Homo-oligomer: A and B are copies of this chain.
Amino acid sequence: MNEITVQTKSRTAFIDITPAIQQFAAEQGMKDGVITIFVPHTTAGVTINENADPDVTADMETVLDRMVPWNGGYLHGEGNTAAHVKASLMGSSAQVIVKNGQLQLGIWQSLYFCEFDGPRTRKIWLKESA
């Protein structure tokens, strides 16, 4: 298992981690398999979406805020319930296929670390399966 670190700079952010995952595959000498990308946090997640127009992830942040408002009369005393819910909506892990050492993503796809309660220093765990 390997670990990478991401420093987020705002409460919410979608950060493209594709180059770090490709580098992991190369360092492992992976040829063919599946990489599990796991986020060990409860107010952050991971998703795959468009990398061409940054308005797409900006819109995703907006839509998630509308679906799960920060202030919602929640019970949780820390006040970041919305971040927890968004983390589960995006999910804690992603799986990507590797073929001939190359990450297999669609032409418009990138892997995004999703920060929902930053700014924080975050970890991402990576594991290859044959």
**Quick one: which of B38, B64, B78, B108 contacts A97, CB cutoff 8 A?**
B38
Q: Assuming the A-B contacts A38-B97, A50-B42, are A85 and B63 also in contact, with contact meaning beta carbons closer than 8 angstroms in the complex?
A: yes
A15 CB within 8 Å of chain B: no
**Number of copies of this protein chain within its complex:** 3
* Residue pair A127, B77 in contact (C-beta under 8 Å): no
Q: Assuming the A-B contacts A49-B87, A68-B63, A85-B60, are A105 and B40 also in contact, with contact meaning beta carbons closer than 8 angstroms in the complex?
A: yes
A91 CB within 8 Å of chain B: yes
* Interface of chain A, main secondary structure: mixed
Residues from chain B with Cβ under 8 Å of A55 in the complex: 74-77, 81
* Residue pair B40, A58 in contact (C-beta under 8 Å): no
Which residues from chain A sit less than 8 Å from chain B, CB to CB? 1, 32-34, 36, 38-42, 47-50, 53, 55-56, 58-60, 62-64, 66-68, 72, 74-78, 81-82, 84-85, 87-97, 99, 104-109, 123, 125, 127, 129-130
Query: What would 26 A/B residue contacts be, using CB atoms closer than 8 Å?
Result: A1-B99, A33-B129, A34-B129, A36-B97, A38-B95, A38-B96, A40-B104, A41-B106, A42-B49, A47-B88, A50-B84, A56-B76, A59-B74, A62-B74, A63-B72, A63-B74, A63-B81, A66-B72, A91-B91, A92-B109, A93-B95, A93-B96, A95-B95, A129-B129, A129-B130, A130-B130
